[in-house]
Chain A
Amino acid sequence: MSPTSGRLNLLLSHEAMLAILLAVTLLILSLLSDSFFSTANLLNQVRLTAEIGLITLAMTLVIITGGIDLSVGSIAGLSAIMLGLLWQKAGLPLPLAAVTSLGIAVLAGLGNGVIITRFRVPPLIATLATMAFYRGLAEGFSQSRSVRGYPEGFYILGQGEVLGLPTQVWILIVAAVLVGTALSATAFGRTVFAIGANETAARFSSLPVDRVKLIVYGLSGFMSGLSGLLLVSRVTTTRSDMGMGWELDAITAVVLGGASIFGGRGTVLGSVLALALIQCLKSGLSLAGVKADGTIVLIGLFLIGAVLLGNLMDRIAAR
């Protein structure tokens, strides 16, 4: 997956390890609770994870460039609010309102990219600021009022099924394949890795560093906006606090998936497996009667374990 092919085997084994861990977790949870290991429940879990999942895909690219995007949850909230306002207050047809709010989300993401590339603000600072800014916009526009009563057809997105599977499953699969392919098999993906591994050398090699970063943050905005819409359709209402804390869920999945927070390393497959693992733990443990705080502790332990393991593998690879 990564061009650092000397490490390819180790990376694959990181993903293999996640897959095994996921299988073991599924097995244990199915023993703990009868209702967990059913097709209906598993598909429902995908439905619940789809929003974070889309953001995780984009976050994988952001983190491989050595950046971070803390504003994803706020952008999701902003696009959700804009959808409600444009449809209900401005009277736009719903499809047009959806496309427009997606456009706003992309602009918000590009805004991050411009601040980072043009003004050389570190991504952590830039998106920390826009996290507050975009959330503030969402709250300002909404005036703390929620929007409800969307037309029935809109709920296909968040609650419906296509060819017998939840709509989100299809969206997630298509998005994961597209992003994964772009990352592993195109010049764009190669540039993403090169930026994270050595941005100066990438620039000195005439790679379009700033353009690729803009695309990556723009994509992050797009995915955030899309997940905002999915959430509205799933819960049938629009509130300005939607998407709070999503950034941490996405970052957790990417890091657990084997990406280096310093950039230059990571895979879409790893991130997706890690996300599935986290979701299984969350839902399975709650079904098994473990309290929410216990679940968080366990996820924290998994994360620390993954980072330690990554360090260990680096040391082995360095020999």
Chain B
Amino acid sequence: MIPLRVTDVSKSYGGVQALKPTSFDVRAGEIHALLGENGAGKSTLIRIMSGLIAPDSGAIEIDGEIVHFRSPRDATRHGVVTVHQELLLFPDLSIAENICMADDAGPFGHIDRDAQVRKARQLLAELDSADLDPEMPVRHLSVAQRQRVEIARALGRQAKVLIMDEPTASLADADVARLVAIVQRLRGRGVGIVYVSHKLSEVRLLADRVTVLRDGRFVDTREAKGMTEADMIALMVGRSISELYPKGESRIGAEVLRVDGLTLAPRVRNISFTLRAGEILGLAGLVGAGRTEVARLLFGLDRPSSGRIFLDGREVSVSSPEAAVALGIAYVPEDRGAQGLVKTMPVSANVTMASLGQLLRGPFLSRSTEYAAGAEAIRRLGIRAPRGPQHLAGKLSGGNQQKVVIAKWLRTAPRVLILDEPTRGVDVGAKAEIHALMGDLTRQGLAILMISSELPEVLGMSDRVLVVSQGRMTGLFERADATPERVGAAMVAEMQEATAS
């Protein structure tokens, strides 16, 4: 009996075929990875399987019977539950209320709170998450914890099939390990899991079978056993990428940025480092270790309580983002959609947003200069925008959106570029392009501070690696010394001290 099988499903949006006829199935107790670059049709297939959209053609079968999902609720009733990338929880309700919702309401809509708490506690225990108090509001939870709450909710609904859309996209490595254990546990209980991720190392670790989509087309379904990451990439992009992290040689020059004792308790405590021209300094640490907070201080979004910042040896005060830009500091933030882009504006308006002064003809913005700036960004960074500079930023794929944000900052001619999770949620092809761009920029003498939760990226791209844990520096490694073991140990260093004392 196959808990979920789709046969020749397809979907078009206004003339564009997002998914050509594709078949896919999940067996009980199996992890089936779904791979593909952004725009390959994964999201469309997931939306069909989770009941968000109806396919134009093809059939959905649950346990061999043909069904039509009218809504996600309908899919849930058939035992197909989806954990979306952006977690859909109610922040002001408790964990128990989020897990149970109105599932167990009495005949008059009455909800038995004690029963909800008991049920939640039991489900969380099954996920090895007894540390979560069911009565705590979800608002206080980390992303990783929220995710476990969502999975518990899915379990509570007797999920036969669990669809997980990029579950580890915003998790640090330690949390990823825990999630991997949970997913394996669910497989052991006979749940069929559809696992979507850009992180191929996880896929190789977890998946029993792998299905690859490319350009809305089904490419292949294979047994995962024996497949290497390179095999998967080759299937995804239709060519092989020999070099994943092409950090070329760049001449490292004079010191550009020096930070001395930067502090804003509790997230940033006494951070000191230097950054030189042509250098990439990787800033590693767990989510919440204080990496982004350091970036915010350097970009003037927050003010430090103590500590000094030097640019070219001269002490500077970064009082606001405007001051930071004037000093030549640029920041590509971690949350592209919320912080990086104005999605309802075209590419040209987005790439010029931090350098509007350059568009002025007298008091007025020059439309032609703006258009030219958009075209220039598209050409220089290889942004795929079919409508050119007028293309709305929100309608680009993740990788191209990220390039728009980077282009915006390159127009300010920065000396120091801070990249916060530069390739999060970006497909393999665009990721390689962004890495290559970083290499080019350092060869032109730009100093880059890169924050990343992906250890291979940090180790592959950085000339030196600075590790923070709980707001403190716990390690600084030269490229040659930065092994996964050493950096990993430094990432959790402070925590162990805290537990030991």
* A binding-site residues for B, Cβ under 8 Å: 3-6, 181, 185-187, 190-191, 193-194, 197-198, 200-208, 264-265, 319
Chain B, residues 350-364, CB within 8 Å of chain A (1/0): the string is 000110110110011
Question: Given A185-B364, A194-B353, A206-B324, is A201 in contact with B341 using a C-beta cutoff of 8 Å?
Answer: yes
**Any A CB within 8 A of the CB of B392:** yes
**Any A CB within 8 A of the CB of B471:** no
**Any A CB within 8 A of the CB of B439:** no
Q: Do residues A207 and B353 form an inter-chain contact, with CB atoms below 8 A?
A: yes
Roughly how many angstroms separate A186 CA and B361 CA in the complex, as a whole number? Answer: 10
Contacts of B364 in A (CB 8 A): 181, 185-186
Q: Do residues A205 and B353 form an inter-chain contact, with CB atoms below 8 A?
A: yes
Roughly how many angstroms separate A194 CA and B352 CA in the complex, as a whole number? Answer: 12
Contacts of A5 in B (CB 8 A): 346, 390
Question: Given A194-B342, A198-B338, A201-B338, is A6 in contact with B391 using a C-beta cutoff of 8 Å?
Answer: yes
Roughly how many angstroms separate A194 CA and B344 CA in the complex, as a whole number? Answer: 9
**Any A CB within 8 A of the CB of B266:** no
Roughly how many angstroms separate A201 CA and B331 CA in the complex, as a whole number? Answer: 11
Contacts of B339 in A (CB 8 A): 200-201, 204
Q: Do residues B342 and A206 form an inter-chain contact, with CB atoms below 8 A?
A: no
Question: Given A4-B345, A201-B341, A207-B353, is A190 in contact with B390 using a C-beta cutoff of 8 Å?
Answer: no
**Any A CB within 8 A of the CB of B408:** yes
Question: Given A6-B346, A190-B349, is A204 in contact with B356 using a C-beta cutoff of 8 Å?
Answer: no
Choose one: A186, A194, A204; the contact of B340 (CB below 8 Å).
Answer: A204
Q: Do residues B14 and A206 form an inter-chain contact, with CB atoms below 8 A?
A: no
Roughly how many angstroms separate A204 CA and B344 CA in the complex, as a whole number? Answer: 16
Q: Do residues B365 and A194 form an inter-chain contact, with CB atoms below 8 A?
A: no
Q: Do residues A186 and B345 form an inter-chain contact, with CB atoms below 8 A?
A: no
Q: Do residues B363 and A205 form an inter-chain contact, with CB atoms below 8 A?
A: no
Most chain B CB neighbours (cut-off 10 Å) among A181, A201, A265: A201
Question: Given A186-B365, A194-B353, A204-B333, is A4 in contact with B346 using a C-beta cutoff of 8 Å?
Answer: yes
A/B interface sample: 21 pairs, CB < 8 A = A3-B346, A5-B346, A6-B392, A181-B364, A187-B357, A187-B360, A187-B365, A194-B345, A197-B342, A201-B338, A201-B340, A201-B342, A204-B321, A204-B331, A204-B339, A205-B354, A206-B320, A206-B321, A206-B322, A207-B353, A264-B342
A261 to chain B, nearest CB (A): 15
Choose one: A191, A193, A200, A265; the contact of B338 (CB below 8 Å).
Answer: A200
Q: Do residues B345 and A197 form an inter-chain contact, with CB atoms below 8 A?
A: yes
Question: Given A3-B345, A194-B353, is A203 in contact with B365 using a C-beta cutoff of 8 Å?
Answer: no
Roughly how many angstroms separate A264 CA and B394 CA in the complex, as a whole number? Answer: 14
Contacts of B378 in A (CB 8 A): none
Contacts of B390 in A (CB 8 A): 5-6
Q: Do residues A3 and B349 form an inter-chain contact, with CB atoms below 8 A?
A: yes
* B binding-site residues for A, Cβ under 8 Å: 13-14, 301, 320-322, 324-325, 331, 333, 338-346, 349, 353-354, 356-357, 359-360, 363-365, 387, 390-392, 408
Chain A-chain B contacts (Cβ-Cβ < 8 Å), number: 82
Question: Given A4-B392, A6-B387, A187-B365, is A198 in contact with B343 using a C-beta cutoff of 8 Å?
Answer: yes
Q: Do residues B322 and A208 form an inter-chain contact, with CB atoms below 8 A?
A: yes
Q: Do residues B365 and A198 form an inter-chain contact, with CB atoms below 8 A?
A: no
Choose one: A6, A181, A197, A205; the contact of B408 (CB below 8 Å).
Answer: A205
> Closest chain B residue to A207 by CB distance?
B353
Roughly how many angstroms separate A207 CA and B325 CA in the complex, as a whole number? Answer: 10
Choose one: A190, A198, A264, A319; the contact of B356 (CB below 8 Å).
Answer: A190
A95 to chain B, nearest CB (A): 29
Q: Do residues A197 and B338 form an inter-chain contact, with CB atoms below 8 A?
A: no
Q: What DSSP secondary structure best describes chain A's contact surface?
A: helix
> Closest chain B residue to A195 by CB distance?
B342
Choose one: B325, B359, B363; the contact of A206 (CB below 8 Å).
Answer: B325
Q: Do residues B365 and A206 form an inter-chain contact, with CB atoms below 8 A?
A: no
Roughly how many angstroms separate A204 CA and B359 CA in the complex, as a whole number? Answer: 19
> Closest chain B residue to A317 by CB distance?
B392
Most chain B CB neighbours (cut-off 10 Å) among A4, A6, A193, A208: A6
Closest 9 CB pairs of A and B: A206-B321, A187-B356, A205-B353, A206-B325, A198-B342, A185-B364, A3-B349, A197-B342, A204-B339
Roughly how many angstroms separate A319 CA and B14 CA in the complex, as a whole number? Answer: 6
Q: Do residues B342 and A186 form an inter-chain contact, with CB atoms below 8 A?
A: no
Roughly how many angstroms separate A5 CA and B346 CA in the complex, as a whole number? Answer: 7
B428 to chain A, nearest CB (A): 26
B358 to chain A, nearest CB (A): 10
Roughly how many angstroms separate A187 CA and B387 CA in the complex, as a whole number? Answer: 24
Roughly how many angstroms separate A264 CA and B359 CA in the complex, as a whole number? Answer: 21
Contacts of B333 in A (CB 8 A): 204
18 further A-B contacts with Cβ under 8 Å, apart from A4-B344, A201-B338, are: A3-B345, A3-B346, A4-B349, A181-B364, A187-B356, A187-B359, A190-B353, A190-B356, A194-B353, A197-B345, A201-B340, A201-B342, A204-B333, A205-B321, A206-B325, A207-B353, A207-B354, A264-B342
Contacts of A194 in B (CB 8 A): 342, 345, 349, 353
A185 to chain B, nearest CB (A): 5
Contacts of B357 in A (CB 8 A): 187
Roughly how many angstroms separate A27 CA and B342 CA in the complex, as a whole number? Answer: 42
A3 to chain B, nearest CB (A): 5
Roughly how many angstroms separate A279 CA and B321 CA in the complex, as a whole number? Answer: 45
> Closest chain A residue to B353 by CB distance?
A205
Roughly how many angstroms separate A3 CA and B356 CA in the complex, as a whole number? Answer: 13
Contacts of A203 in B (CB 8 A): 301, 321
Contacts of B387 in A (CB 8 A): 6
Roughly how many angstroms separate A203 CA and B301 CA in the complex, as a whole number? Answer: 9
Q: Do residues A319 and B331 form an inter-chain contact, with CB atoms below 8 A?
A: no
Roughly how many angstroms separate A186 CA and B362 CA in the complex, as a whole number? Answer: 10
Contacts of A204 in B (CB 8 A): 301, 321, 331, 333, 339-340
Roughly how many angstroms separate A264 CA and B393 CA in the complex, as a whole number? Answer: 14
Question: Given A205-B408, A207-B353, is A198 in contact with B341 using a C-beta cutoff of 8 Å?
Answer: yes
Contacts of B349 in A (CB 8 A): 3-4, 190, 194
Contacts of A190 in B (CB 8 A): 349, 353, 356, 365
Choose one: A6, A186, A191, A208; the contact of B363 (CB below 8 Å).
Answer: A186
Contacts of A187 in B (CB 8 A): 356-357, 359-360, 365
Roughly how many angstroms separate A181 CA and B349 CA in the complex, as a whole number? Answer: 17
Contacts of B360 in A (CB 8 A): 187
Contacts of B325 in A (CB 8 A): 206
